[in-house]
Structure 1
Amino acid sequence: MPAVICGLLALLLGLPFAGGTTPGAVDTAAAAAVAHLSPGVLRALVFPTEPYVVLALGLLAVALCLRAGRRKEAVLALVVPVLAILLTSWLLKPLYDRWKNGTLVYPSGHTVSLVAVLTVLVLVTRRVLVAVLSAVALLAATAGLVGMGYHYLTDVAGGTLFAAAVVLLTWPSPRREPADPAQGEHSFTTPGS
């Protein structure tokens, strides 16, 4: 259900801006909030969206899956972010036709690639620390993308929602295993692991 909600929100969020170049009030406020940051700081904030960083994080997710013997998840960790990126570039950007600086911007491809890989990492590791670090990386990247003028805030929000939707829709749900009476707890596994 969260995947469907994220997907619908991503699709709806872009509608008011389709075919245009004008920022919304929230976009203008976000740009003003980060306007004081220096170009060096903004470049550092955008760093998590660099292709080599996203690729390294994706390969880390694949390696973690293989190490745990979860081959199906390893394939998904590789394929699903690519699927999200391709859908964004070939379907959604032309469909929404929102432009900034001569480039289609909704939803943000930078954000889709980063969030897809980070969502996979959170699902693979199931660690709160990974979720927190992922959120920090996304917030930093958001400030950088808006501050550098690459995207409006709504582009980043749409990319975040869309990437999360694609990953959650395609990722196998953990299933609850029967309790081990010796340990007195339940464990979770992923189908096909």
Structure 2
Amino acid sequence: MTETTNIELKYFKTIGHEYQWFILYEFAVSDKVLFDKSDKEILKEIISSKILNKSLYHNEMDGIEIELKGLGEAPRRPFEFDKIETSNFQFIESKTDFQNWVSRFRTKGWEDDREDAQILIDRAEKELWSRTNLKNGLWHLTKENFEDNSDKLIEIHWIYLHFETFIEIDRANSMIRTFDFGYD
């Protein structure tokens, strides 16, 4: 499955505000057998694939105006995906559970940038709800769950105050949707 010929970036949206950013991707997967597997088996297959790897930049973005300048060089996910296991992900079962997560996310750890974060989160939510209703649930991987010296984090992990990666497995549309919140 992890062969790039089976995976196509169909949609992406970048949103940035000051030092916070949000990136949403939708990947069509032509390997229909993948969607017959359990969520955890799918996660295991997409870890370190084009869908879920360190780089947030994809060649399909070439020549397209994107809101985050310099995306080709950075940002990068702060995870060592060859050491990440499915047990490092937390399952968020419903849209309501995700909205509760967003409510908590809005209020903690923003230091002096809280107002800017609220603007970004509002814009990100609007984009997200225009693309999905999250009826499939979400898998969540957060930098916050690892110690600073964890071998599951790459060296630049310290640059991010927050880094949140979400994965939605959309079997009905043969699609994997990912989105990331970052704050550096």
Which structure is higher in helix share?
A: 1
Larger RCO, structures 1/2 (Cα 8 Å, 6+ apart): 1
Q: TM-score, normalised by structure 1?
A: 0.33
Q: TM-score, normalised by structure 2?
A: 0.35
Which structure is higher in strand share?
A: 2
* Greater Rg over alpha carbons, structure: 1
